[in-house]
Structure 1
Amino acid sequence: MEQWSNDIWLAILAAFIVGIIIGYVVLKATNANAQKQQKLENELKTATAKLDAQKEQLEEHFQQSANLLATLAEDYKKLYTHLAKGSQNLLPNEATQKIEFFQQSQLSEKPINDDKQPKDYSEGSSGILKTKVD
């Protein structure tokens, strides 16, 4: 009986060692996948953060551009008003009538002729993309 119990203990010990080895291999395999997944998640978070920062910068840029354009339009309006008042006060009436730039009535009543507007396209093929056959 003593021999049999030693054999049983030896089998239990061998099974325990084999179980530890198998557990270590499985843990390494799953841990490598988990590390790879964690790395990909970190890269995704970094890319998302960069994209969000770029979107924010783009929104700020266009907001600032809109503000600058509004300021420019207001300053242009002030300059035009200043020049128009100066021309009325400083120039005689005949000279003011000769200068078309300062006559607001001509600017507002002048019809826009669509036929005179430049076109953004050509009428036909320009031949730029034709392939040369030798």
Structure 2
Amino acid sequence: MTWINSLVFMIIGMVIGFLVSRLTICSNSHQKGLRKELEKSRYELEQYRQELVDHFAQSANLLDNIYRDYSRLYQHLATTTAELMPNLPEQDNPFAKRVSKLSDISIEQKVPQEPPRDYSDKSTGILGNANKTGTIS
């Protein structure tokens, strides 16, 4: 009788072990699928960020080209106005005023007023989330 009980318990143990292993293998494969999906999403996010950086760099370059073209256009109009209308006083030439403003702006942009800071205004990370009592919320 003890052999029969041992055999029955052994069969029940094998069935329970089989069921537990099947459940853990299914969740493990589900975790692998989620991990692959996460890696794919991270890769796509990194590609999107790189495209965004490239887009802003190209936009800044195009705006810089527009600025230079407008500066050259105003300078051309100011010089041709002075050549075509030599008796026109300087204060009546509408383009001369704009050319001087554009040159002032370009000088201000080239010479920084203060050195760049190596810190930000707001605290970040763990200390950024601390409230006034000193506890982290």
Normalised by the size of structure 2, how large is the TM-score?
0.58
Contact 2:74 2:95 in 1 (8 A): no
1:26 paired residue among 10, 20, 24: 20
Whole-Å separation in 1 of the counterparts to 2:2 and 2:98? 111
Q: Aligned residue for 1:64?
A: 58
Q: Aligned residue for 2:77?
A: 83
Secondary structure of the 2:94 match is coil
* CA distance 1:23–1:101, shift in 2 (3 Å): same
Q: Aligned residue for 1:38?
A: 32
State the identity as a percent.
33
Q: Aligned residue for 2:46?
A: 52
Q: Aligned residue for 2:96?
A: 102
Whole-Å separation in 2 of the counterparts to 1:105 and 1:47? 50
| Cα root mean square deviation, aligned | 2.9
Displacement of 1:16 in angstroms is 5.5
Q: Structure 1 stretches of 5 or more lacking a match?
A: 1-6, 109-134
* CA distance 1:78–1:101, shift in 2 (3 Å): closer
Letter in 2 for 1:41: R
Displacement of 1:63 in angstroms is 0.5
Normalised by the size of structure 1, how large is the TM-score?
0.59
* CA distance 1:14–1:100, shift in 2 (3 Å): same
Q: Structure 2 stretches of 5 or more lacking a match?
A: 103-137
Letter in 2 for 1:93: N
Letter in 2 for 1:48: R
* CA distance 1:104–1:24, shift in 2 (3 Å): closer
Displacement of 1:66 in angstroms is 0.6
